[in-house]
Structure 1
Amino acid sequence: MDGFKTRLRESVQLRLSASLSLVLLIVAMAAGVFAFVSAFDEAHEMQDATLRQVADLFERQRMTLRYAEPSATEDDDEESRVVIQYLADGANASHNGDASTPLPLPTTLSDGLRTLDVGGEPFRVLVKTTTDGQRIAVAQEVGARDKDARESAWRSLLPFLILFPVLLLVMSDLVRKLFRPIALLSREIDLRESQALHPIDERHVPLEVRPFVVAINRLLERVRKAMETQSRFVADAAHELRSPLTALSLQAERLAQTEMPAHAHERLKPLRRGIERGRKLIDQLLSLATAQSITRSPTQAISVRGVYRRVLEDLMALAEARQLDIGIEGDQDVHVFMHEVDLLTLVKNLVDNAIRYTPSGGRVDLSVDLAGGQAKLQVSDSGPGIAIGERERVFDPFYRTLGTEQVGSGLGLSIVRTIVERAGATVHLNYTDELNRSGLCVTVWLPTGAKPADADSST
């Protein structure tokens, strides 16, 4: 009960439905009472009219009365019978009850309708003087009249009893349909990507909700400008830092070529590694800023195998320096619809990570396949892999697994996650060798709009 009260306070739709139901119930009860009373009175009026018609029929047909013996009326329904008698015969009644005719009615009654007590039972009595001067009385028991009137009144309530639950269902469905645009709007916003900050279409939004939607659009515009400013700041800062670090790298390289003591060369090595790490950080900051950029070029069909070849051309020297066996498995190619720069950056970061964390003499394999209407990109290596407990955290910016001695910034997989989310794709991390729990196999599922093509035709 407390949960319902809480929901009633918080839900406008539930409050509206409950309020309308309460109003409908009150109106239905008032209308039902009015209909019952009206039908009850109308039934009595019709019964009075019946008494008048019986009296008129008696007068027109010039009937004569002959009272039946008490034994002849034993099988009659006393409650529903209509009694006709001469008013003067009431004085000659041999009994005081209503078991037989004539009824002991007062002979001094004036013409008209009235309710009298006869033998302890109320009767509705019509007294009329005919044209030939005779006075007759037409009587019916009030209990029978009331019973028939109540039955008629209850039958008049049947439409209310049937229509009320129907009206509740119709009203509930109508309220739900009225709130449906809001539910659809919330679902649309909830399904948006994190970078989708375009305004909400307010044309089909109810007028009462439109100011709220306009306020959300203004907020989205402010967030978009803030993100653009942040991304521009990161890109500008990386550009500004690239030149001095490049100069430092060149100076350190020239310094290493000069003659100096052995201990000086040993101290120079950490300096060069630090400079290289700084350059790598700047390059990845630029890649992250590009991946998070809101303004993007149109998507197009990109050959995955072609991107693999371009990445291997750029990183082959690094792989050969570490004596790695690197290559593309299979002959199949798949075309995916996305930004070419995004796909190139995604694959390059995955392959670069695989090369750096695979021991010398190891293996790095690239493959692509089409499964379930999606492109399945895989980059696997024979390195140490990533523990299951860390597989979610490695996507956080600047997070690096403990125990690694490789130069890096911890931004590679964060860039991959950003691109994957933008493309509406998914990424999974597994062991290359599940039995020995070694190696890292990164699988990326990308949307595709093309059928698998022959490897030779992709070039």
Structure 2
Amino acid sequence: MPGESPIPDLLKRANAFHLSFSGNSLRRRLLRLLISSISFLVVVVSLLAYVNSHHEVDELFDAQLAESARVLLDQASTEVSGSTGVVSDSDHLAHEYERKIAFQIRDRSGNLLLRSATTPRRVLSEHSEGFSDSLIEGKRWRVFAHWNKAHTLQIQVGQLHEIRNELAGRIALSLLVPFLFVIPMVAPLIWISIERGLRPLDWVSDEVRMRAVENLKPIVITDVPDEIRPLIDSINTLLSRLEYSFENERRFTADAAHELRTPLAALKTQAQVALRANEQDKKRKALEQVISGVDRATHLVQQLLTLARLDPQFSQVGNAEFDLYQVVVRVLADLANEALTRKIELGCNEGEAAMVKGDAEMVGILVSNLVRNAIRYTPEEGSVGVRISEDESAIWLHVVDNGPGIAPEERARVFERFYRTLGNRVSGSGLGLSIVKRIADLHHAEVSLDSGEDGKGLSVGVRFPKS
């Protein structure tokens, strides 16, 4: 835009350039890998070319040795005299390889009749016919031996192996050298291709960097390569989880402030009454109300903290196996005094061990909330029963009371936080069943609500699947 300073854009480009050449740059790493791979392939191709060329050179030179031997033997049959002859070694050779090719002609008795100037005096090969390899004076020779038709003369034509090795090496080098010049020229083209190929990463980086702090909406970038799509999906999943977490935190803060406002106002009111009361009975009654209010506020705070700790996206549930029956017995023992105070019969069916996998402490909180709710809503001299049963696929926990129950149309909403049924006069936070549902979800368990025995009261069933 007009008037904007180009400095931020220049700094951005300089930073990108610096990162591109930094030691941990993905671009440099890809460039090194590609150049190394190409160089390795060039070396492999050169080695294969050397091996194949050596084989072809061997075949060609062997054919030449055989052909030369037959030509020389035909000429020698009419020209060789009884004395030993040596073909003269000219100072001006037609080819540099001439000194590395030699021949010998011997008679049937093995006497040397004719040889080239570069040929050793000893027999080139012990084989009397065909191709063979010999080591003479520390040098390897390829030798072809052949007799004439009358079997009176034998010719051995030899060639140093170094000729073949040198020629095969020159062929391989002729293939390798062009690549040595091509690779430095190809490197910039590879760098440009890598730069263009990694450009979507820059788009993602710019999209994330330019976002406002409060913007946790998914990243939407079209025409993204398949290799980068999992990265964007992972970032979007993280953003979604963060948004869910922040929303829970905001909702928790708002709910806590709203729910704590009423008991704190009541505490203040009762404290003022106690402060102004002249009669001891009124002051005592007001202070008892303060203590009761503190207990309710404490219970509410504990429930809120428990609910916050049991976020299903971030809570970790153990996989240890524990006896559900023992957990129920422990909870009932803890709540026996509360049930006794309200003259409520508290019981549990006897049975064998019911093994469940998960977190025994969390399941204890679940059972405690169900039983405590049942005690709170059951009238005096009522009953609360806990039953544990088992079928082929699950272990069931049932908590049954003979209180007022919950109307069918309200059962779906009682798991919402702070929701309380219409006409409910019993004190409570409205978080008990929400906590129960959260713990059940963490254990992949199912919670169901139904009427109690004879259609009265409430029966809460929790189904723990067998692993």
Give the alignment's TM-score, normalised by structure 1: 0.45
Give the alignment's TM-score, normalised by structure 2: 0.44
Structure with more contact order per residue of length (Cα contacts < 8 Å, sep ≥ 6): 1
